[in-house]
C-alpha cells in the first residue's frame, strides 16, 4: 500500500509491500510467509494454504479495486468470452470436458482462469483436433494431458473455479483448425479471465509447475528498504533478466513513442512452436490497441508510427534461435519475416516516408484476414519516399556522385543485411558468404528518418526493384545508415511512388 510520509518496503519472499512505519515496527509486525515446498504427497495442502493466504487476497484486491487496482474489476463482455472452455469439474474427478460457450446460456457470465505456458515438445497429446473434438465434448481423462495442464486443472479446482482456458485444448489445432479465427480474439481472453496462471518456470509442458521447490529448505529473513519518492508521471521501468528492460507507458506513447516496437523486438526473440503463428499471436494484443486508439494496423505496424516500424534489422547475435518457416511467404518489409529483430530509433520528425501513395487502400487492413502468412495482394505497402543510388564499398565507406559538380563524394555508412538470402538471389553482385560486398556495388537507398542517438546519421532501407512486377515495386533486403555530410534537406523532397512487397 502507498501512504503519505516516510515510506518503507517490506520484502517477504518475492512480495513487496509499501507501508508507513519505522523499521523496528515494520519487521515486528510482518506476517511471515513460508515458501511452499510442493513436496510429493503434500501439494494439495500447501496449495490450499497458498490460495487462502496469498492468491485469494490478491484477487479480492482486484475485484474490489483497492490501491494499485483502480482499473481492475469485472469487465465481462459476453461477445469476448472464449469460444470454448474446459470444465474442470471437482477436485477428485478423473474426467474433464470441453464446452461450447455459445451453446450453453449459463456460461454467458462466468468466471474462468487462463493458462499461459510454454508448449515445448511435450504437448502433442493435449491437442484438440477435429478428430477428437466430439470425444472431448463428452469428457476425457485428465491423465491424458501434459503435466503443466494437469497442474493448472488442479489449481483451478482448488480455487473453486469451474472453467479453465488452455489454447491447446480450446482451439482446434492443425491446418484445418480455427487458430486463425481465434487468435485475433485471444487478446480479450486474459482481460476477461478472473486470473491468469503463468507457468513461467516450465520450459516444456511436460515438466509441470507444481514441482518441488528446493528454495523452501533455506530460511529467508524479512528486510526493510528505504524507498525514494517518485512523483514523475509517464512510465516505469521494470528490470528483469540482467539488463533487459520493459517499459510500460500510456497507450498513445506505447504506439507513437516506440514502446510497441520494443515489445515486438522482445517478442521476436521468443520461441514459438509454429513460427508461422507469430503475426497471429501478436494480433490479439494489437487488436486491443486498435480498439482503444482507433489506430490503423498492418502486419505489426501501426500507421501513425509507420516509419519507425520499417526500421527493424535482423539480430545476428541470436541467429541460432530462429528457423525461417518454409511455408511462410511474408512481405520483405515485415519484421516477422526475419526474426529475431531489433529496431533503430528515429525522431518523430522529419519523416522521409509518407503513406499518401495515391493507390494505397483507404485504410490499413487491420483485420486478421489480412495477415500475410500466405501470398496475398494484402502484403503490399504503398508509400512515397525519396530513393538514392549509392555505391557502397568496404570499411563502412560509401560514395555518391554529385549531380552538379560531377565529382564523387565519400561518406560514412553502415549496412545491416537481412538474414533471408533468398530475397537477395536476384540481385547482381550479391554479398559473399561473409556478408560483405566486394570493392563496390551500386545500391538503392530509401531514407526513412533521423537517427535518435547519433547526430547526422540517416537510417533507411536497402531496396531493389522487383523484375516483372511493374514500375515502382521494390523489395527490401537490409538497412543502411548514412552520414548526412553529402545531403541537404531539399534532397529529400523529390519522392517517388513506391510499393513495397
Cell, residue 197: 496462471
User: Number of C-alpha atoms within 13 angstroms, CB side, residue 79?
Assistant: 0
Q: Which residue has the higher pLDDT, 215 or 312?
A: 312
Rounded distance, CA 215 to CA 36, Å?
Answer: 9
User: If pLDDT is split at 50, 70 and 90, which confidence band does 327 have?
Assistant: low
CB-CB neighbours of 146 under 10 Å:
25
Q: Residue 481 to residues 420, 456, 458, 485: CA-CA distances in angstroms?
A: 19, 10, 6, 12
**Residue whose entry in the numeric block shows the C-alpha cell 511471515:** 32
Q: Residue 482 to residues 31, 73, 390, 412: CA-CA distances in angstroms?
A: 60, 51, 10, 6
Domain boundaries, the chain: 78-209, 246-379, 381-420+435-500
Taking CA 446 as the corner, what is the angle to CA 441 and CA 448, rounded to the nearest 5 degrees?
140
**Which of 152-161, 265-274, 309-318, 464-473 has the highest mean predicted lDDT (pLDDT)?**
152-161
Rounded distance, CA 140 to CA 128, Å?
Answer: 11
Among residues 184, 182, 203, 207, which one has the least CA distance to residue 279? 184
Q: Helices 259-268 and 278-293: crossing angle, nearest 10°? A: 160
**Which of 83-97, 265-279, 375-389, 439-453 has the highest mean predicted lDDT (pLDDT)?**
83-97
Please state which of the ranges 42-56, 278-292, 393-407 shows the lowest mean pLDDT: 393-407
**Residue whose entry in the numeric block shows the C-alpha cell 470444465:** 87
User: If pLDDT is split at 50, 70 and 90, which confidence band does 40 have?
Assistant: low
DSSP 335: G
Q: Which residue has the higher pLDDT, 442 or 29?
A: 442
Among residues 259, 344, 333, which one has the least CA distance to residue 498? 333
Q: What is the pTM of this model?
A: 0.67
Rounded distance, CA 439 to CA 254, Å?
Answer: 43
Please list the residues that pair with 463 across neighbouring strands. Answer: 444, 476
Query: SS3 for 355?
Result: coil
SS3 for 12-45 is ECCEEEEECCCHHHHHHHCCCCCCCCCCCCCHHH
pLDDT digits (tens, 9 = 90+) for 41-93: 778 888 898 899 888 888 888 878 776 666 665 555 556 789 999 999 998 89
SS3 for 162-193 is CEEECHHHHCECCCCCCHHHHHHHCCHHHHHC
DSSP 445-501: EEE-EEESSSTTEEEEEEEEEPTTS-TTEEEEEEEEEEESTT--GGGGG--EEEEE-
Query: SS3 for 50?
Result: helix
Among residues 141, 163, 144, which one has the least CA distance to residue 152? 163
pLDDT digits (tens, 9 = 90+) for 90-132: 988 999 999 999 888 777 778 999 998 988 888 999 999 999 9
Amino acid at each position: 500500500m502507498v501512504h503519505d510520509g516516510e515510506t518503507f518496503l517490506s520484502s517477504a519472499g518475492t512480495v513487496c509491500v509499501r507501508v508507513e512505519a519505522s523499521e523496528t515496527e515494520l519487521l515486528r509486525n510482518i506476517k511471515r510467509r513460508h515458501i511452499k515446498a510442493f513436496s510429493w504427497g503434500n501439494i494439495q495442502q500447501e496449495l490450499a494454504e497458498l490460495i487462502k493466504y496469498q492468491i485469494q487476497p490478491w484477487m479480492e484486491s482486484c475485484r474490489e479495486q483497492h490501491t494499485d487496482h483502480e482499473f481492475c474489476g469485472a469487465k465481462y463482455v459476453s461477445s469476448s468470452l472464449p469460444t470454448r472452455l474446459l470444465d474442470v469439474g471437482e477436485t477428485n474427478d478423473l474426467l474433464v470436458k470441453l464446452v461450447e460457450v455459445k451453446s450453453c446460456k449459463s456460461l454467458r457470465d462466468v468466471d474462468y482462469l487462463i493458462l499461459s505456458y510454454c508448449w515445448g515438445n511435450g504437448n502433442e497429446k493435449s491437442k484438440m483436433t477435429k478428430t477428437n473434438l466430439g470425444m472431448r465434448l463428452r469428457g476425457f481423462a485428465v491423465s491424458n494431458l501434459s503435466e503443466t495442464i494437469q497442474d493448472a486443472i488442479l489449481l483451478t479446482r482448488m480455487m473453486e473455479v469451474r472453467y479453465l482456458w488452455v489454447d491447446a485444448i480450446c482451439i482446434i489445432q492443425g491446418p484445418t483448425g480455427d487458430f486463425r479465427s481465434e487468435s485475433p480474439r485471444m487478446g480479450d481472453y486474459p482481460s476477461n479471465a478472473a486470473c491468469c496462471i503463468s507457468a513461467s518456470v516450465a520450459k516444456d509442458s511436460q515438466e509441470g509447475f507444481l514441482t518441488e521447490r528446493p528454495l523452501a529448505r533455506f530460511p529467508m529473513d524479512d528486510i526493510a528498504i528505504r524507498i525514494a519518492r517518485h512523483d514523475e508521471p509517464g512510465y516505469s521501468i521494470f528490470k528483469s533478466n540482467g539488463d533487459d528492460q520493459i517499459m510500460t507507458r500510456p497507450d498513445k506513447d506505447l504506439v507513437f513513442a516506440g514502446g510497441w516496437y520494443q515489445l515486438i523486438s522482445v517478442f521476436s526473440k521468443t520461441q514459438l512452436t509454429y513460427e508461422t503463428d507469430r503475426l497471429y499471436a501478436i494480433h490479439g494484443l494489437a487488436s486491443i490497441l486498435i480498439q482503444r486508439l482507433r489506430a490503423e494496423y498492418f502486419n505489426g505496424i501501426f500507421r501513425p508510427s509507420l516509419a519507425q516500424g520499417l526500421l527493424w534489422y535482423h539480430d545476428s547475435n541470436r541467429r541460432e534461435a530462429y528457423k525461417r518457416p518454409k511455408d511462410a511467404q511474408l512481405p520483405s518489409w515485415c519484421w516477422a519475416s526475419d526474426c529475431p529483430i531489433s529496431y533503430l530509433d528515429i525522431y518523430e520528425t522529419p519523416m522521409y516516408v509518407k503513406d499518401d501513395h495515391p493507390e494505397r487502400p483507404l485504410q490499413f487492413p487491420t483485420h486478421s484476414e489480412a495477415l500475410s502468412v500466405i501470398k496475398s495482394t494484402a502484403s503490399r505497402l504503398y508509400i512515397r519516399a525519396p530513393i538514392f543510388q549509392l555505391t557502397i564499398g568496404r570499411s563502412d565507406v560509401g560514395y555518391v556522385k554529385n549531380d552538379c559538380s560531377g565529382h564523387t563524394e565519400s561518406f560514412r555508412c553502415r549496412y545491416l543485411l537481412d538474414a533471408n538470402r533468398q530475397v537477395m538471389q536476384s540481385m547482381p553482385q550479391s554479398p559473399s558468404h561473409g556478408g560483405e560486398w566486394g570493392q563496390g556495388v551500386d545500391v538503392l537507398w530509401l531514407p526513412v528518418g533521423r537517427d535518435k542517438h547519433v547526430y547526422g546519421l540517416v537510417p533507411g532501407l536497402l531496396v531493389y526493384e522487383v523484375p516483372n512486377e511493374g514500375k515502382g515495386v521494390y523489395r527490401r533486403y537490409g538497412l543502411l545508415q548514412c552520414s548526412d555530410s553529402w545531403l541537404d534537406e531539399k534532397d529529400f523532397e523529390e519522392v517517388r511512388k513506391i510499393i513495397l512487397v
